Amino acid sequence: MNHGPVIFLAAFLALTASWFGFVLMPDIQVGGLQQTNMVGVAATYPVERPGLAREGLDVYRANGCASCHSQQVRQSGTVCNVVMTDAGTNRVAVIDVLTQELPDTSRSEIEQMLVGLPKTVLKGSDRPKANRMVRALKSSGAKSSLSIVPVGPDIARGWGKRQTVAEDFLYDDPVMLGSQRIGPDLANVGLREPDARWEYLHLYAPRLEVKGSIMPPFRYLFDERKIGQAPSPDALALPPDLAPPHGYEIVPTRKAQGLVAYLLSLQATAPLFNAPLTVPPSAEPTAQTNAPSKNP
C-alpha cells in the first residue's frame, strides 16, 4: 500500500499546527505591542537602542553569547514594604498605631522602630495591610511611604529589580532571550557593570576581572596596532603578561565597541503597568551576581 499521502498529510498537519502555535499565535498576542508609558515617571518606554548598541546586538548574536547567557529575569511574587520616614511629634500616637498594626511585635521592638529613621516598619506584606498601615501612620502624624517590591530567586541574585516583560525587547530583532545560564543573566548588566573599561577588559581576558572565570576570551574583537602619534585613549590597560610588544597597543574594533554599547544598554528596570515596582530614591544597583568573586 502506498503510505506517501498519509505521511505527507501527517507531516503537513504537524508543521502547520506548530506554525500556528509558535508563530501565528504569539504574533497575534504580542506582535502589535507598542511603546508604553512608565508608571509614575513621565516617559515612554522603551526607547530604541542607539545605533552603535543596535550593531552590538548583531555581534552578541554572532558570537553566541546567548548560548551561555539568558536575558530574562523571573519573579515569583510581589510584596509591599512600608518605610517610616518621619515619626512626627506625637510619639505616643505613633506607638499606639504600630502596636495595633503589628500585634506580634513587642513594645520594646516598636520603640526601637522610632529611632534612626527612615526604618522599614512593615516588610513583605500584602497591599491592603500596607495601605492600612500608611493611613494609620498618617493619621497619627507620622510620615511613611509604601514601596512595591518584586521578589524571587533571580531578583535575590541581583539580576534585576523586576521580571522582564515583552516590552523590554520591543526593539530587539531577534530577541536574545537565551535558554542556558552558564554565565549570569544579562538583562540588567548595564546597571551592574556600567563601566565600559571593565567590559572591554572582561571581553579581552575574563580572568583579569573575574578570578577563575570560565567565559571564553573574545580577543578577535580587538586589534593590535602600532602606537601612532600618541597612545589611543581606548587602548586597554593590560598587565605585563598580556600586554602587546613595546610600541603596540590593543584597541577595541568597531564590533567590540558596538557589543559593549549594547551591554551597557541592557537595563530592564523601568516601572511598567504590567511589571510594577517602586523605584527607590537612590537608583543604586545592588552589584552582586552569582558570578565568581571579582579580583580586587
Partner 1 sequence: MPEPIQPTPIAETGEPQASQLAMPVWLLVLMFLLLYWGMVYFDQHSGWFNTEVYVPYYSLAEVQEFQPPTGGVDLQRGKALFDNVCALCHNPDGMGKPGQAPPFVGSEWVVGPPSRLIRIPLVGLTGPVSVKGQVFTFAASMPPMGASFSNDDLAAVLSYMRQSWGNKAPPVTSDEVKAVRAQIGNRAQPWTPQELMQIPAK
Interface residue list for ligand HEC (CB under 6 A)? 60, 63-65, 67-69, 182-184, 189, 192-193, 206, 210, 213-216, 218, 259, 263, 289, 291-292
Q: Which does 166 bind (CB under 5 to 8 A by kind): partner 1, ligand HEC, none?
A: partner 1
Would you give the distance in Å from CA 164 to the centre of its chain? 8
Q: Looking at beta carbons only, is 82 or 210 nearer to ligand HEC?
A: 210
Q: Which of residues 264-283 bind partner 1 (CB under 8 A)?
A: 271, 273-278
230: exposed, middle or buried (Cβ count in 10 Å: 0-12, 13-18, 19+): exposed
Sign of CA dihedral 120, 126, 129, 130: positive
Cβ–Cβ under 8 Å, residues 176 and 66: yes
Q: Which does 33 bind (CB under 5 to 8 A by kind): partner 1, ligand HEC, none?
A: partner 1
Cβ–Cβ under 8 Å, residues 145 and 275: no
Question: In the bound complex, what is the minimum distance in angstroms from residue 188's beta carbon to partner 1?
Answer: 17
Which residue intervals of 194-253 are DSSP H helices?
196-204, 206-209
Q: Looking at beta carbons only, is 29 or 288 nearer to partner 1?
A: 29
Q: Give yes or no for residue 78 binding partner 1 (CB under 8 A).
A: yes
Cβ–Cβ under 8 Å, residues 97 and 127: no
Judged by phi (left if over 0) then psi (alpha if -120 to 50, else beta), residue 267 lies in beta
- Residue from 25, 156, 177, 237 that binds partner 1 (CB under 8 A)? 25
26 Cβ contact list (under 8 Å, min separation 6): none
- Residue from 9, 23, 37, 40 that binds partner 1 (CB under 8 A)? 40
282 Cβ contact list (under 8 Å, min separation 6): none
Q: Which residue is nearest to ligand HEC, using beta carbons? A: 183
Question: In the bound complex, what is the minimum distance in angstroms from residue 68's beta carbon to ligand HEC?
Answer: 3
Q: Which does 210 bind (CB under 5 to 8 A by kind): ligand HEC, partner 1, none?
A: ligand HEC
Q: Which does 174 bind (CB under 5 to 8 A by kind): ligand HEC, partner 1, none?
A: none
- Residue from 10, 15, 33, 214 that binds partner 1 (CB under 8 A)? 33
And the C-alpha cell for 178? 537565551
And the C-alpha cell for 119? 526604618
And the C-alpha cell for 8? 505527507
Which positions lie near partner 1, rule CB under 8 A? 25, 28-30, 33, 39-40, 42, 75-78, 80, 127, 134, 145-148, 152, 163, 165-166, 271, 273-278
